A and B are shown apart, each in its own frame.
Chain A
Amino acid sequence: MENSIAWIFIFPLFGSVACAILGISNRKICYPIAVLSMAGSLWAGIETLRQVLSVNDHTVSYLFGGWTLDAYPRGVGIEFHADILGILITLVVLGVGLLVSLYSKLPVEEETPGKEPLFYTLFLLQVTGLAGICLTGDAFNLYVLIEVAALTGYGLIAIGSNRAAAATFNYLILGTIGASLYLLGVGYIYIKTGTLNMVGIHDIIVAEGLADSATMQVAFVLVGVGILIKMAFFPFHAWLPNAYSNAPTTTSCLLAPVVTKVMIYVMIRMVLSVFGVEFSFESTLWTDVLPWLVVVAIVCAAVMALAQREIKRMLSYLIVAEVGYMVGGVWIYNYYGLIGSIFHVISDACMTLCLFLGAGLILRKAKTTHFDGLRGLFTKMPLTMTGFFIGGFSIIGLPPTCGFFSKWYLITGGMVSQRWEYMIVLMFSTMVMVVLFFRMIERIHLAVSESGENLGHGHGDLGLTDQQTRFDEGPLSMLIPLLLASAVVLVVGIYNQEVVSLIEVFLSDFNLPRGEGIK
């Protein structure tokens, strides 16, 4: 379909308006509206992917307002620019959106009673903003969409408890600094190039040799730092753990998998398509400094995660570590590192989704996500725990989950660029994650509490009553999305070659070092 790219955001946009208006008289109607509009949007996304794959240069550009490229100069109207990378990440966002909207029925009703219409309005607009970020081809439009995603995010987190509101305030301040720095960077680009269209900016940078101009270099720093703040890269990560661990279940399920990943996508897009490979990697400042920052980031985040005794908080620190992986994969600067980075964006979204959906179910049944509440959960809710640990094994990087393959490419990238510190730190954090998840399994099976006290009475006894270990799975509306998500983790892992070949098609346009000399 010709306009499928527009339908991607038309569905959730109109859906959110419908939720806001119809939700006043009937709250029950919001859930079906949200699920339907997410499904429609996903359908449009798949349709667009087909369209992208069917054209020769694998890009589809859509000009809003009919300001076509043949009749008007580029940059007059706003362009949506879908290439393989963009549409892949969009599909990830929409898929996560659909699964979480399916999942959301009970948690939203229970955690934010009376606010369902507001919740779903913000939820759908969040997805609209994130999907728009992946597709837009206009630097300023990107800022507006980042703010759409950010403001809905603040609302969705703070809709819960007072503690969440306090955490959101920090998120808001840091998020605004990040977005404003990005806006300032766009201004610096605009003052030198006179256009806001991403393709146009790249053409002018190449044509006029702006790589040496101080303005452009500062613009690069501003845009880069702005995005790093938004993606919670290590020194700027302070907002993330508090915000995500205090948010309502559905919110953290939606935000944790996609928001940071979408910002990493923005970084890749800026580096590759806007500033260009030559510009971005020419100065050794970034390629030297950032990987070392990544090392510090991953170590710190992993150690912090080790110190947590609460699942959601631990997962939040894991996200910070994962962000370090992906940033490192980009800035070690080679072909395999980038493949690993992009693949990891996709697989990390799937496995984080798995983990957070699982954590939501555990929270619902066990009433706590503290490690001490986990005893005996494998007998009580085996399906949930299976789904949860598929996500966990993927984060560790066990084959055949998708996490293994993306980590494989990242390590290959580190080897090709001879970035031993990056490789070592990847191994280190893998080991930390092994400890994290196997410690959880231990907590589930052993009768020892966190303080070392033995609660059981001998072999195999967990110190629980029969009632507490009885089979008691979570509701199907929450269980099915979790199982689907864990299935996706496995499927993406098994069919990793298909995904990688798509990414390779995208990267073949760029001149990246492949390290043939070393092999």
Chain B
Amino acid sequence: MKLLSYIPVLVVGVLLLYAAKDFPEWGSPDAPASKSPVSSHFIANTGVDTEVPNMVTAVLADYRGFDTMFETVVVFIAGMAVLAILKNSGRKKLVKREFEVDAEPDLIVTNTVRLLVPVIQIFAFYVLAHGHVSPGGGFQGGVLMGASFILVALSWDLETALIRFPLNWTTILGGLGIFLYAGIGLLSMFLGGEFLDYSELANIFPVSREMARYHAMLGVEIGVGLTVTAIMFSLYANLSTEGRLQRGL
């Protein structure tokens, strides 16, 4: 049985290596992927189409914005599904673990975290807002933001963090993030374009069509950031306590 499991692995390996010798030359600018009209269009025209200097952000939030919307939905689904799986599932009573000691949160740790958390949160906003110009964006900013709450939960305990960010709020914020994203898409549809055609927003905001895309992308990224923040914290809170939401790690 043990040997049997090597067979599919070996078959896949031989297959993949067989194809690897047919790949285009390593790093060549003439490889189909680098030379294709799609890729060239992204590099040459992003500035003209959207005025965003960071092409990755432009492709992510605008050219392939529909993908990214569902990516955000995937994050939201993960949060909801974990909640669904773990809610009311296990023993309500807390079992004391073998190595657990009752102790107050450590003074040094908590005071360091007091100093750190605001910095992390400001940095999260920076990463989110600066995603147009430098690497960054909604997902990265959202994860940082979520991490700041997780840090609070780690250094005090989960209840303290849950007072600041109740679990119902994670669901609401996660939903609002998607609502914001899809809402911007829907609004641009009502204004006469296709779904997610941000340039139509120029009809109601005093900006050019390109800058409308630029600003709508920021709105979309904020939506992504909200969802990711909320769900990251919700995942931590549920997974660290088997869904009981008491005590935590």
Q: Do chains A and B touch in the complex (CB under 8 A)?
A: yes
CB-based contact A155/B73 at 8 Å = no
Residue of A nearest to B21 (CB): A214
CB-based contact A191/B80 at 8 Å = no
Count A-B contacts at CB 8 Å.
Answer: 179
- In B72-95, the 8 Å CB interface with A consists of 73-74, 76-78, 80-81, 83-85, 87-89
CA distance A152 to B22 in the complex (A): 38
Which of B81, B168, B178, B186 contacts A152, CB < 8 Å? B81
| A209 close to chain B: CB less than 8 A | no
Distance in Å from the Cβ of A451 to the closest Cβ of chain B?
34
**Could you say which interface size class chain B belongs to?**
35 or more
Distance in Å from the Cβ of A504 to the closest Cβ of chain B?
31
CA distance A62 to B77 in the complex (A): 26
Residue of B nearest to A210 (CB): B32
Which of A18, A125, A193 contacts B32, CB < 8 Å? A193
User: Which of B114-122, B138-146, B189-197 lines the interface with chain A?
Assistant: B189-197
CB-based contact B38/A194 at 8 Å = yes
A6-B194, A65-B65 given; A215·B32 CB < 8 A: no
A17-B175, A122-B84 given; A67·B67 CB < 8 A: no
CA distance A190 to B32 in the complex (A): 8
A118-B84, A194-B38, A214-B21 given; A64·B172 CB < 8 A: no
A14-B182, A145-B70 given; A64·B194 CB < 8 A: yes
* Chain B residues within 8 Å of A17, by CB: 175-176, 178-179, 182
Distance in Å from the Cβ of B19 to the closest Cβ of chain A?
4
CB-based contact B182/A10 at 8 Å = yes
* Chain B residues within 8 Å of A147, by CB: 74
> What count of chain A residues pass the 8 Å CB interface test?
67
* Chain A residues within 8 Å of B74, by CB: 144, 147-148, 151
CA distance A119 to B64 in the complex (A): 29
Distance in Å from the Cβ of A110 to the closest Cβ of chain B?
15
Which of A78, A121, A138, A214 contacts B18, CB < 8 Å? A214
* Chain A residues within 8 Å of B81, by CB: 118, 122, 151-152, 154-155, 158
Distance in Å from the Cβ of B10 to the closest Cβ of chain A?
15
User: Which of A69-77, A289-297, A334-342, A495-503 lines the interface with chain B?
Assistant: A69-77
* Chain B residues within 8 Å of A75, by CB: 36-38
CA distance A309 to B42 in the complex (A): 58
* Chain A residues within 8 Å of B31, by CB: 191, 194
CA distance A138 to B193 in the complex (A): 20
CB-based contact A73/B85 at 8 Å = no
CB-based contact B83/A118 at 8 Å = yes
| B24 close to chain A: CB less than 8 A | yes
| B23 close to chain A: CB less than 8 A | yes
* Chain A residues within 8 Å of B71, by CB: 144
| B247 close to chain A: CB less than 8 A | no
CA distance A72 to B63 in the complex (A): 11
| B225 close to chain A: CB less than 8 A | no
Which of A159, A190, A218 contacts B85, CB < 8 Å? A159
* Chain B residues within 8 Å of A63, by CB: 194
| B203 close to chain A: CB less than 8 A | no
* Chain B residues within 8 Å of A132, by CB: 70
CB-based contact B32/A73 at 8 Å = no
Residue of B nearest to A219 (CB): B19
Residue of B nearest to A79 (CB): B66
A3-B194, A66-B199, A218-B18 given; A193·B36 CB < 8 A: yes
- In B31-81, the 8 Å CB interface with A consists of 31-39, 41-42, 62-67, 70-71, 73-74, 76-78, 80-81
CA distance A86 to B120 in the complex (A): 47
Distance in Å from the Cβ of A312 to the closest Cβ of chain B?
21
| A20 close to chain B: CB less than 8 A | yes
Distance in Å from the Cβ of A473 to the closest Cβ of chain B?
31
Which of B80, B175, B182, B189 contacts A155, CB < 8 Å? B80
Residue of B nearest to A20 (CB): B175
| A488 close to chain B: CB less than 8 A | no
* Chain A residues within 8 Å of B87, by CB: 114-115, 118
Distance in Å from the Cβ of A134 to the closest Cβ of chain B?
14
- In B121-169, the 8 Å CB interface with A consists of 168
* Chain B residues within 8 Å of A193, by CB: 32, 36
Name which of B38, B42, B87, B179 has the most chain A CB atoms within 10 A of its CB: B38
Which of B16, B178, B179, B196 contacts A65, CB < 8 Å? B196
CB-based contact B38/A73 at 8 Å = yes
| A52 close to chain B: CB less than 8 A | no
Distance in Å from the Cβ of A4 to the closest Cβ of chain B?
11
| A165 close to chain B: CB less than 8 A | yes
A114-B88, A144-B71, A215-B23 given; A66·B36 CB < 8 A: no
Residue of A nearest to B36 (CB): A194
* Chain A residues within 8 Å of B171, by CB: 20-21, 24
CA distance A125 to B70 in the complex (A): 10
Contact with A along B197-210 (1 / 0, CB 8 A): 11110000000000
CA distance A348 to B21 in the complex (A): 43
Name which of B19, B34, B76, B174 has the most chain A CB atoms within 10 A of its CB: B19
Contact with B along A189-225 (1 / 0, CB 8 A): 0111111110010000000000001110111011000
CB-based contact B77/A140 at 8 Å = no
| A141 close to chain B: CB less than 8 A | yes
CB-based contact B195/A155 at 8 Å = no
| B15 close to chain A: CB less than 8 A | yes
CA distance A215 to B37 in the complex (A): 21
| A100 close to chain B: CB less than 8 A | no
A14-B182, A21-B171, A193-B32 given; A62·B38 CB < 8 A: no
Distance in Å from the Cβ of B159 to the closest Cβ of chain A?
20
Residue of A nearest to B70 (CB): A144
CA distance A192 to B74 in the complex (A): 29
CB-based contact B66/A66 at 8 Å = no
A17-B175, A73-B38 given; A140·B67 CB < 8 A: yes
Task: Please give the residue numbers on chain A whose beta carbons come within 8 Å of chain B beta carbons, in ascending order.
Answer: 3, 6, 10, 13-14, 17-18, 20-21, 24, 62-67, 72-78, 112, 114-115, 118-119, 121-122, 125, 128-129, 132, 138, 140-141, 144-145, 147-148, 151-152, 154-155, 158-159, 162, 165, 188, 190-197, 200, 213-215, 217-219, 221-222
* Contacts A20-B172, A144-B74 supplied; 20 other A-B pairs, CB < 8 Å: A3-B189, A3-B195, A20-B80, A21-B179, A24-B171, A64-B194, A65-B198, A73-B37, A75-B38, A76-B42, A118-B81, A122-B84, A125-B77, A141-B66, A154-B81, A159-B85, A165-B85, A200-B38, A218-B15, A218-B19
What would 15 A/B residue contacts be, using CB atoms closer than 8 Å?
A6-B189, A17-B176, A24-B168, A62-B194, A65-B65, A76-B41, A122-B80, A144-B70, A155-B84, A155-B85, A194-B33, A194-B34, A200-B38, A214-B19, A218-B19
Which 9 pairs show the lowest CB-CB distances between chains A and B? Answer: A194-B36, A155-B81, A66-B197, A218-B19, A194-B32, A214-B22, A118-B84, A73-B37, A6-B195
